[in-house]
Amino acid sequence: MLKKFILMLGFTSIFLLAGCQREPSRYDAFADCLTEKGIKMYGTDSCPYCQKQKEMLDGAFDKIDYINCDIKLRQCRETNITGYPTWILANGERLIGKQPLETLADKTNCELPDINPDFNE
Identify the pLDDT of residue 11. 46
Look at strands 94-96 and 86-88 and give their pairing. antiparallel
d(CA 58, CA 53): 9
Question: 27 and 113 in contact (C-beta within 8 Å)?
Answer: yes
Q: For residue 75, give the nearest of 26, 103, 108, 40 by alpha carbon.
A: 40
What does the pLDDT read at residue 9?
46
Domain 25-114, second-level architecture? 3-Layer(aba) Sandwich (3.40)
Strand ranges, E, within 1-121: 40-43, 65-68, 86-88, 94-96
**Per residue of the chain (121 residues), what is the pLDDT tens digit?**
555 545 454 544 444 444 456 688 899 999 999 999 999 999 999 999 999 999 999 899 999 999 999 999 999 999 999 999 999 999 999 999 999 999 999 999 999 987 555 545 4
Q: What pLDDT, on the 0 to 100 scale, is given for residue 112?
A: 94
Sequence ranges of the domains in the chain? 25-114
The three-class DSSP label of residue 52 is helix
